[in-house]
Amino acid sequence: MSTDLTLHQRRRAATPEELHSIPWLPLLSPSERKAAEAHIVVGDAQSGDTLCRVGRQVTYWFGVVEGLLKMNADSATGQSMTFTGLPPGGWFGEGTVLKREAYRYNVQALRKSVVAGLPVESFHWLLDHSIGFNRFVMNQLNERLGQFIAAREIDRLSDPNTRVARNLAALFNPVLYPGVGQVLRITQQELAYLVGLSRQRVNEALALLQAQGSIRIEYGGLRVLNLAALRSGVL
User: pLDDT tens for residues 132-145?
Assistant: 999 999 999 999 88
Domain closes at, from 99, 133, 151 = 151
Pair (181, 203) in one structural domain = yes
Q: Of the ranges 116-130, 153-167, 170-184, which is most confident? A: 116-130
pLDDT value for 155: 65
pLDDT of 151 higher than 80: no
In a domain, residue 143? The reply is yes
Pair (74, 136) in one structural domain = yes
pLDDT of 3 higher than 80: no
pLDDT averaged over every residue in the chain: 90
Pair (101, 201) in one structural domain = no
**Distance (Å, whole) CA 136 – CA 146:** 16
CATH value at residue 166: 1.10.10.10
Pair (140, 218) in one structural domain = no
Q: What is the mean pLDDT of the segment spanning 37-56? A: 95
**Distance (Å, whole) CA 125 – CA 209:** 45
In a domain, residue 30? The reply is yes
In a domain, residue 2? The reply is no
In a domain, residue 7? The reply is no
Counting every residue written for the chain, the total comes to 235
How many domains is the chain built from? 2
In a domain, residue 183? The reply is yes
In a domain, residue 4? The reply is no
pLDDT value for 4: 62
Give this prediction's pTM.
0.86
In a domain, residue 142? The reply is yes
pLDDT digits (tens, 9 = 90+) for 59-89: 999 999 999 999 988 766 666 778 889 999 9
In a domain, residue 125? The reply is yes
Domain closes at, from 151, 166, 184 = 151
pLDDT value for 159: 85
Give the Cα-Cα-Cα angle 152, 158, 161 (nearest 5 degrees). 100
CB 233 within 8 Å of CB 166: yes
Domain span holding position 86: 12-151
pLDDT value for 88: 94
